Amino acid sequence: MDAFDNKLYAHTLEGVKNKSQWQTLREHALSTAHLASDYATSFGLAECGYWLGLIHDLGKSLPQFQQRLEDDRVKADHKHAGGLFLWDKLNNGTKPSHLAAQCLALCVISHHGGLVDCLNQLGEDNFINTIENKLYQANLKDSLENLQLDTELEDNIKKISGARSLVQDEIDFFFQNILQQAKKYWPTEDDKNKRKKLELFRIGLMTKMLFSCLIDADHTDTANFHDEERKNKNLPHLPKWDELRDMVERYLETLPQTSSVDIERKRISDKCIQASVCESGTYLLTVPTGGGKTLASMRFALHHAVNREPYIPFKRIIYVIPYTTIIEQNAQAIRKVFVSQLNEDVLNEMILESHSNVLPNEENRNNRVLAENWDAPIIFTTNVQFLEAFYGVGTRNARKLHNLANSIIIFDEAQTLPVRCLHLFCHAVNFLVEHCNCTAILCTATQPLLHEIPAEHGALWLSKNFQILPDKFRKDSADSLKRVTVIDECKPQGWRLEEVADKVSCIHKQGNSCIIILNTKADTRELYTILRKRHGEELTYHLSTAMCAAHRMDILSEVKTLLRNNQPVICVSTQLIEAGIDIDFDTGIRALAGIDSIAQAAGRINRNGKKPADSALYIQNISGENLKNLQDIAVAQVEAQKVLREFKENPNEFGNSLLSEAVMKRYFKFYIFNRKDEMTYKIKSDNLVNLLSSNVNAVGEYKRTHKNQPYPNILRQSFATAAREFKVINSDTQGIFVPYNDEARGLLNQLRNTKSSEFQRYLFRRLQRYTVNVYPYMLKKLTKIHALEPLCENSGILALYEIFYDSRFGVNINSTISPDMLIQ
């Protein structure tokens, strides 16, 4: 730092030596403080957000850090000084002050990599060891001394230091609310350990929400500084909830009411409006497959949002969906409602489709600028991204979390959640509803009874009158929409794929269309290949997640056109087609799976009621099926067979239908009872629910190594350990862009040639539908055969070379590439 330069800086511009163009520490601190405060207002911790933003980069006032800005060979730790400052200023020995100090200090200490362990599995007190670290304490002292170079920033920090009670009071108010809710669920003295566990889990989630505010504010301000175009972007005026509600109602008036199915869908949708006057809470929308739940749930959400507007208005409506294919379809359905009433710019800003994680977890500035933070009024995302926002590793996942507050969240097909994530999911939803002003709706034909899983580890707490559609109404709707008969064809030796093909060929010869849903990609490819050889390509189709969403939608569009023309289409698919896809086959075959999957598959048959109600779905057990990496399906098969046997013995008990609510409840009772030990997300000798709450094993290790002294701090969670262990699916996946069509190729060319981070962000949104999620083993294979092209320098973003994308199967490693093709 020059001797005559009395300013402190936070960020430089690449290649710019003129310091007048650099961002000062004061500018960054104040801007981040205001942003974080604004974000945290959504859940009542605005003052905490302001403190976090103002103090988080206090260590950048270190002389070493100022030198580092001009010479990156200089080493300087800047993230710990702010944490130590907050601990010192906020902790005065009382429980509220201790909690406020630990919570805020932890956020700042962790802001370059994700929340760290307070207590690790060896019983080591990472938090206090950090606070008492002599080097960090010396750095704090030097930071405060050097802060005198910016008297205005120094004055701001002194000013808030004199108002520490505001932060302590905010945290205490939030904490008292946690205690009150926990006591409501676990009121007796015998329940105190369960109550304590719940309290600690929720304190941890409160900390994560504040951490999210800091990360998003920090990254947003940094991105704005590096890209003036982004900072000064003029956003179009977005319509209010009542305007959107009226647009939906106008659109619905244009829809025909010609068939019995159309009339029943309208009846369900109207009932949702009647229920929308309810208080914020957690509700079940149990709609038979084909009952029009996408528009029905949107009507509920918009009317519910308008009803609450005079109080604390909702900021977002968020659809959380199991598969990217359904994101594309449901987003199109909602876009269709508004497309004639809003211009394209407004639509693009209003509706965000968040398909995949195309950014790797590495922390760098490019990734921070490009990361998606769910800042849109209507969002379509996946179960994976919802859960990773709460429990995933690093800052990229955490950044999104605070934008869930003040939202109406619609969980579509909640029965598809992985079993090991169920308690974590319930904790997240309960926290959002009870502490972050949210309403949650679980919307499916096959409700998974999450309110009946073991409550001591976290069950879903439902609101009073939680069924949006009353019992009799649901039964009448199910009867009215009965269009399919499920036929159990399982046999002791199982069905070979050649035999399945024979069955399909018989159906085809009768002039009927057929959907075949199998459990594995390998079986899907093999059966498709057999059927294509028999019946040609014209009417034979394949679908799997090796294809990007746009590719799948094009295939589905072709198939739908043929079906409308009564062509005997054959479609072989993985389970991606069975949950929520709006398509209508004459008959179907489902490989043995859970009863919920069978019911969802039935929803793709005679969907619009144009065939007799005895249209068939055949259940077949596939011989030689490799479910080694699909344990959820393997276990679901076992439990389904129990129900199928019971149904054969006494069909009257189940209403003479394998699609009845009675069958579904019996299946989930079996499923929950036999898998309850898995639902806490087990790891080695512990589980993630424990790591993120009482952390009993780690506390035990601490006592053992500290002469049986009690652990002195409130937060004792192993946040970083839990995040490293957490995976929604069995293996991490990374999204890669694929050059599926001319639009994708054009967007990729623009991405190669632009340096604007704001334009890159725009292209990322446009490219969401051209991503495929690949597992590590596939990523390794694709890298080995030179199938991937790096994009956006130093970002880790990858695109597939065109030769490796197959028009029938999607990503295809069975191809070759010559060296000259790598030259751009």
Partners of residue 800 on adjacent β-strands: 788
Res 210: pLDDT: 98
Q: What percent of the chain has pLDDT over 70?
A: 94
Residue 72 has pLDDT above 90, yes or no: no
CATH fold, domain 241-477, is Rossmann fold (3.40.50)
Pairing type for strands 316-321 and 378-382 reads parallel
Asked if 751 and 792 touch (Cβ cutoff 8 Å), the reply is: yes
Containing H/E element for 671?
Answer: helix 661-675
CB 119 within 8 A of CB 699: yes
Which pLDDT score is estimated for 479?
Answer: 84
Top-confidence residue, 280 or 236: 280
Provide mean pLDDT across the span 696-725.
95
Torsion angle of C-alpha atoms 125, 128, 131, 133, degrees rounded to 10: -60
| 3-class DSSP assignment, residue 285 | strand
Half-sphere exposure of 318 (CA within 13 A, CB side): 29
Which of 11-15, 249-253, 730-734 is the most confident on average?
Answer: 249-253
Q: What pLDDT, on the 0 to 100 scale, is given for residue 368?
A: 47
Alpha helices (H) in 254-321, listed in sequence order: 260-275, 293-308
Q: What is the pLDDT of residue 824?
A: 33
Mean of the per-residue pLDDT values of the chain: 90
817 pLDDT above the threshold of 50? no
According to CATH, what is the number of the domain 483-658?
Answer: 3.40.50.300
Lowest mean pLDDT among 219-228, 505-514, 712-721: 219-228
Query: Among the listed ranges 352-361, 372-381, 705-714, 750-759, which one has the minimum average pLDDT value?
Result: 352-361
Identify the pLDDT of residue 542.
96
Which residues partner with 317 through β-bridges?
Answer: 378, 408
Given strand 514-517, what is the order of strands in its sheet?
484-488, 615-620, 587-591, 514-517, 570-573, 540-543
Question: What is the rounded CA–CA span in Å between residue 508 and residue 588?
Answer: 11
- pLDDT top residue among 40 and 655: 40
pLDDT exceeds 70 at position 80 = yes
Q: Cα separation of 219 and 365, whole Å?
A: 8
For 659, the token pair is: 């699609």
Confidence of residue 273 (pLDDT cuts 50, 70, 90): very high
Describe the chain by its helix, strand, coil percentages, rounded to 5.
55, 10, 35
- Cβ neighbors of 85 (< 8 A, separation 6 or more) are 55, 58, 140, 143, 144
Average of per-residue pLDDT across 202-221: 97
Structure tokens belonging to residue 136: 């960090």
CB 437 within 8 A of CB 406: yes
- Locate 329 and state its tokens: 């379809």
5 pLDDT band, cuts 50/70/90, is low
pLDDT band at 13 (very low <50, low <70, confident <90, very high): confident
Would you state the pLDDT for residue 823?
35
Q: Find tokens 């956003």 and name the residue.
A: 235
- Sign of torsion over alpha carbons 393, 775, 357, 421: negative
Q: Please give the pLDDT value at position 745.
A: 96
469 burial (CB, 10 Å; 0-12 / 13-18 / 19+) is buried
pLDDT at 393 over 70: yes
Classify 567 in phi/psi space as left (phi over 0), alpha (psi -120 to 50) or beta.
beta
Whether the per-residue pLDDT at 2 is higher than 80: the answer is no
Residue 815: pLDDT over 70: no
The model's confidence at residue 90, banded by pLDDT at 50, 70 and 90, is: very high
**Quick one: pLDDT at residue 231?**
61
Residue pair 451/459 in contact (Cβ under 8 Å)? The answer is: yes
For the chain, the structural domain boundaries read 9-231, 241-477, 483-658, 682-725, 734-822
Tell me the CA distances in angstroms from 294 to 150, 320, 324, 339, one per residue in order: 55, 12, 15, 17
Beta-sheet pairing, 805-806 with 810-811: antiparallel
The reply to whether domains 241-477 and 483-658 share a CATH topology is: yes
Report whether 330 contacts 412 (CB < 8 A): yes
This prediction's pTM: 0.88
Q: With 90 as the cut, is the pLDDT of residue 757 above it?
A: no
pLDDT score recorded for residue 762: 84
CA neighbours closer than 13 Å in the CB half-sphere of residue 110: 30
pLDDT-derived band at 305 (thresholds 50, 70, 90) equals: very high
| Band (387; pLDDT cuts 50, 70, 90) | very high
Q: How far apart are CA 149 and CA 154, in angstroms?
A: 8
Q: What percent of the chain has pLDDT over 90?
A: 69
Residues 596-638 have pLDDT tens digits of: 999 999 999 998 888 876 799 999 999 999 998 888 899 999 9
**Tokens 């025909």 belong to residue:** 256
Q: How far apart are CA 469 and CA 467, in angstroms?
A: 5
Count how many Cα atoms sit within 13 Å of the Cα of residue 610 in the half-sphere of its side chain. Answer: 15
Q: Tens digits of per-residue pLDDT, 215-250?
A: 999 999 998 888 766 665 655 677 899 999 999 999
Q: Is the pLDDT of residue 753 over 50?
A: yes
Judged against a pLDDT cut of 70, whether residue 4 lies above it is answered with: no
Label residue 362 by pLDDT band (50, 70, 90).
Answer: low
Q: Which pLDDT does position 708 carry in this prediction? A: 93
Length of the chain: 824
- 3-state secondary structure at position 156: helix
Amino acid at site 250: R
List pLDDT tens digits, range 103-158: 999 999 999 989 999 999 999 999 999 999 999 999 999 999 999 888 889 999 98
Spell out the SS3 assignment of 744-767.
HHHHHHHHHHCCCHHHHHHHHHHH
**478-500, pLDDT tens digit by residue?**
888 888 999 999 999 999 999 99
293: number of CA atoms within 13 Å, CB side? 29
Work out the burial of residue 696: count CB atoms within 10 Å of its CB; fewer than 13 is exposed, 13-18 middle, 19 or more buried: middle
Higher local confidence (pLDDT), 229 or 594: 594
* Mean of pLDDT values over 201-224: 96
